[in-house]
Amino acid sequence: MSEAGTAVPSIRRSRDVPLLVERARAGDPRAVARLITLVENGDEVLPQVAAALAPYAGQAQVVGLTGSPGVGKSTTTNELVRALRARGHRVGVLAVDPSSPFTGGAILGDRVRMQDHATDPGVYIRSMSSRGHLGGLSAATPQAVRVLEGAGCDVVLVETVGVGQAEVEVASLADTTLVLLAPGMGDAIQAVKAGILEIADVFVVNKADRDGADATVRDINGMIALGERGPGQWRPQVVRSVAARGEGIDDIAAAIDKHRGWLVEHGELRRRREARAAAEIEAIALGTLRARIGSLRDGTGLAALAGKVAEGSLDPYAAADELLADLER
């Protein structure tokens, strides 16, 4: 389902949600693109979109790929798409790119590395700008995943922005999280730091033909051995690959399959998806609250409270309580 293709021109600007969902279910890439655009823009029809897509929730396997810039996330994603298509799966890809803190713009270049699949009707690739959202994803990513599920994708690959040690949001979205590493990541101390390395279900040591690959694998295995696990708990897999040559991709796919089997067997898949739904609900509720608080800035209530706090006649907690009471009213 490449974004290129023929479709009814009216789809491009349509806000007819039932029509868009019907077309998306039929495999129309323009309808999928339009739905994701509505999601990204926070359009007023977004609640209708969510309601129309609800019956199709949970039907796709969601795999997250994260790691530092330059470890080969896009190349690995491209090769995973090839392997999944060989199995007959319909695949959706959401590639999140960083946006400029000055202009808000983004190059959206991750899919340049995925041009092999641009004309494949069984693949839909969408680049998304992070729009300043922290955590390695875009705020619209969870709903975009729902769009791709509704469009009949069997697997959705979510590639994050090139992230740092503490940007771990993808773990709350994906059923299986791949953390990509490359030789030269640092000394053994880096391997035991809290943060992104703790969220991995599968470690992929990419560019494993380079010097230092053995040391990287050894450090990661050492970190895994330090973790406390009860009987039956998942032990992260460590896989080597050279994605640029297509090497090790079958091993990555096998590790994903193994983790999927464990999730189902231990009831963890349902727990993760319920946690994901809870996070979505909370994010929507908080967004609504922020919008309401923003509307208060146009009035005198917030300014009056701020004045009292500034002069010391009211503490900020009491002021916040008054603000929340105003919101309830």
pLDDT tens-digit series, residues 40-49: 888 889 899 9
The per-residue pLDDT for 260 is 97
pTM: 0.84
H runs (alpha helix) in the chain:
17-25, 29-40, 46-53, 73-86, 141-150, 170-173, 188-191, 213-226, 249-265, 268-296, 301-311, 316-328
Instruction: Give the separation between CA 319 and CA 253, rounded to whole angstroms.
Output: 53
More confidently predicted of 140 and 87 = 87
More confidently predicted of 87 and 111 = 87
Do β-strands 91-97 and 202-205 pair in parallel, antiparallel, or remain unpaired?
unpaired
Mean pLDDT for the stretch of residues 209-217: 92
| Closest of 153, 281, 130, 41 to residue 15, by C-alpha | 41
Mean pLDDT for the stretch of residues 307-326: 90
Mean pLDDT for the stretch of residues 120-149: 78
Separation of CA 132 from chain center: 14
Least confident of 51-60, 101-110, 190-199, 304-313: 101-110
* Interhelix angle 29-40/17-25, nearest 10 degrees: 130
What's the whole-number average pLDDT of the chain?
Answer: 83
Do β-strands 155-159 and 61-67 pair in parallel, antiparallel, or remain unpaired?
parallel
Degrees to nearest 5, angle at CA 120 with 24 and 87: 95
The residue type found at 89 is H
Q: Is the pLDDT of residue 7 over 50?
A: no
More confidently predicted of 194 and 56 = 56
The residue type found at 177 is T
* Interhelix angle 29-40/46-53, nearest 10 degrees: 130
Sheet containing strand 91-97, strands side by side: 123-129, 91-97, 155-159, 61-67, 176-181, 202-205, 237-240
More confidently predicted of 266 and 58 = 266
Q: Is the pLDDT of residue 282 over 80?
A: yes
